[in-house]
Amino acid sequence: MAISGASGTIYGIRLLEAIHANPDIEVHLVMSAWAKENLAIENTGYVESQVNALADHVYDPRNMGAAIASGSFHHDGMVIVPSSMKTIAAIATGMGDSLIGRAADVTLKERRPLLIVPRESPFNQIHLENMLKLSRMGVEIIPPIPAFYNNPQTIDALINHNTMKLLDHLHIDNSLSPRWQGLAQAKMAAREAKNHE
Per-residue pLDDT tens over the stretch 106-132 = 999 999 999 999 999 999 999 999 999
Q: What is the pLDDT of residues 26-41, one digit of tens each?
A: 999 999 999 999 999 9
- Whether residue 32 is annotated as binding a ligand: the answer is yes
Residue 189 assigned as binding residue: no
In this predicted structure, the answer to whether residue 4 has a pLDDT above a threshold of 90 is: yes
- Whole-number Å distance between alpha carbons of 100 and 90: 9
Examine the pLDDT at 187 and tell me if it is beyond 80: no
Supply the pLDDT for residue 150: 84
18 known ligand binder: no
Residue 7 labelled as part of a binding site: yes
Asked whether residue 9 is marked as a ligand-binding residue, the answer is no
The candidate with the shortest Cα–Cα distance to 92, out of 83, 84, 79, 101, is 101
**This prediction's pTM:** 0.91
**For position 175, what pLDDT does the model report?**
87
Q: How many domains does the chain have?
A: 1
Residue 109 assigned to a binding site: no
Ordered strands of the 114-118 beta sheet? 57-59, 28-31, 2-3, 78-83, 114-118, 140-141
Q: CATH number, domain at 53?
A: 3.40.50.1950
Q: Which domain holds residue 167?
A: 2-195
Is 78 annotated as ligand-binding?
no
**Alpha-carbon dihedral 9, 170, 108, 122, rounded to 10 degrees:** -40
